[in-house]
Amino acid sequence: MHLQTTYEHRKGVNDVTCPPPQRGRERGPALYFDNNATTPLLPSVRAAMSEAMETFGNPSSVHFCGEAAAALIDHARAFVAVLLACDPEQVVFNSGGSEGASSVIVGTGLYHLRDGGHFITSAVEHPAVLRACEFVRELGFELSVLPVDGAGRVDPGTLQTVLRPDTRLVSIMHANNETGAFQPLYALSRVAREAGVPFHCDAVQTAGKERIGLAEGFVTISGHKFHGPKGVGALVVRTDAPLQKLIFGGEQEHDRRAGTENLLGIVGLGAAAGAARARLEDPNEQFRRKSIGDRLRAGLSSIHGAVVNSPTEGCLPETVNVSFEGLRGDTIVDVLSARGVAVSSGSACHSAHPDPSHVLLAMGLPADRALGAVRFSSSCLTRRDEVDEVVEITEQTVRQLYATWRSVGTA
């Protein structure tokens, strides 16, 4: 989407301002297609946060200034609870998805530190989950990392065979951040529930886009993935499974996370949650959302040399992960950036020698295809004409890179 001045969109989502791009001599009209990384604030979110700046009291204070701040937090908590189909008392505000994952995984490990046990995750999880699981393994726990099929999904039957009497937690995401592939979440959580094992769902990529209605377990989300502010998220605790809290001090957030609350961030998260719930209940918005995703996928897949890595079915429509045969994903990202298009490489890091994506490798893709991956991700602000523009610019870029490759023998 255009970032130079304002976004023009349908009624109710207007004028989201962003600074103009600063580098790149070839840069044309700016198009933002990296929404899985972060999303711009909605005007309603910015307005709510701006208004909340007038409320400066500490929410823990018992006088009228503190009560006003606490009321704003309660209001936001109610909006998040509606979005996630849980009770407000089950919502714990925090700094985002990474803290939420550590709170559940490391918190479970610390609680069971004396008696040990076993953790389960999948090979395609976000690093926030994988590294937290690696940490509890260093504490002495055993860890099973479940394989995935060619679409990036875990077989619930495989989970069933790996569960043990001393399994302390299963942590599997709702949808993958690189490919958009959905896990069979409810089947997986049911397997864990029937075994009496707590289940953690990393819902960072699906909150605000899909309904999340787990009856039990833990859910973690991050506000900036659905047009809220950065640095704020929530942990939903739908189980009585014990956790050792990681931040000590006061008794804020139902005594699960100490520290004076991030009032402005929480207000913004609540406003974003309210807007997201309205979109989920709007059939026209859901139709528009799918049509934008279908248009993006169809346009990118028609480019010469393109191979789509995101599954055709069971995938977030916002996410299209595509490789271009013989080309490096980081090269494409750099050239597109110079031409005003913001996308992400499928590589694990952006450097002179990036590693192939662990997600794509786990799906069985060869390393060269994984290194060639580029992720395009739209949002509720993305327009059809922007999709057409980004496809056209990408097609031109790929064609020119192939021409260069043929002339010098490398890409």
Active site residue ranges: 349
Question: At what angle are helices 384-408 and 329-338 packed, to 10 degrees?
Answer: 120
Counting Cα atoms < 13 Å in the Cβ hemisphere of 325 gives 7
Burial class (CB in 10 A: 0-12, 13-18, 19+), 134: middle
Q: Dihedrals φ, ψ of 211, to 5°?
A: -75, 135
For residue 383, what is the enclosing H or E element? none
**Helix H or strand E segment including 377:** strand 373-377
Query: CA 167 to CA 116: how far, in whole Å?
Result: 9
Task: Tell me the three state secondary structure of residue 371.
Answer: helix
The tokens of 228 are what?
């809220």
Structural contact between residues 290 and 305, judged by C-beta atoms closer than 8 angstroms: no
Q: Are 80 and 130 a contacting pair, CB within 8 Å?
A: no
Give the separation between CA 287 and CA 292, rounded to whole angstroms. 9
